[in-house]
Amino acid sequence: MDERKVGAEPPHPHDTSAHAPTAPTPGLLCSVVTTTWIDVTPAGSVAFLLIAHPPPRRSGESAAALREDMRSLGTALGLVSSRCPLPDIGPRLTLHGGKAAIRVDGCDFLLGTTIGATWSDFVAQGGPVVVSLGLAPLPVGADRDAVEAYIGECLATGELMLGAIMSTAPGRRRASDLLDGG
C-alpha cells in the first residue's frame, strides 16, 4: 500500500465555529468537478487543485443553492476568500496511486479525485499545494482555456476560495508566500 500523508500538522489557522455551515453531503462531494496542474509562481513551482460544481442539472437544483453548498465545502476545507491572506489548511491530502483524497472537516467522507503522475510525484516530494474552490458553476470537461477564464472570472467577482497544504520539507515558504512571491 503506497499511502502518503502530505503537509505539516500546524494548529488550524482560523476558527470557523462562529459560522457553522452545513456539513457537505456525500452527494455534493461526488458531484464536484476537479482539475489539477502545476504552475510556476513568483515563489516557485506550486501544485494547484481546483474544485468546482457543474451548472444545475437536476430538478430542484439552483445556482444559488449550489453556491451555498460550495461555500460550506470551502469552509469545511479551511479555505478563505481569495481576497484574504492564503492560509495553511493543514494536512488533509492523502495520495494513493493515481488518486488524491482530501479530508473535509465535519464530514465522514473524503473528497476524491484522479491525479496525474507528475502532480502526484511533485506533491509527494514535498511540493506545496494550493486548493482553490470556485463558487460559480464550471461545466464538466472544461478545457484549459475555459478553466483559466473561469479562475479569472471567479477572482474578479470574489467567488474563489483558497488555502494551501504546505510541506514539511526544509526551506519551504509560508502559505502566504505562494501566490505573492513573498
Q: What is the pLDDT of residue 57?
A: 84
- Tens digit of each residue's pLDDT (9 = 90 or more) over 95-143: 988 999 999 999 999 999 999 999 999 998 888 999 999 999 999 999 9
Q: What is the pLDDT of residue 23?
A: 82
Q: Choose between 54 and 43: higher pLDDT.
A: 54
Q: Choose between 30 and 175: higher pLDDT.
A: 30
- How would residue 19 be classed by pLDDT, with cut points 50, 70 and 90? very low
d(CA 177, CA 115): 25
* pTM metric for this prediction: 0.81
13 has a pLDDT exceeding 50: no
**Mean pLDDT confidence for 8-33:** 63
**Are 39 and 118 a contacting pair, CB within 8 Å?**
no
d(CA 163, CA 48): 10
d(CA 116, CA 97): 9
SS3 at position 147: helix
Average pLDDT over the chain reads: 83
DSSP code, position 165: E
Q: Choose between 133 and 44: higher pLDDT.
A: 133
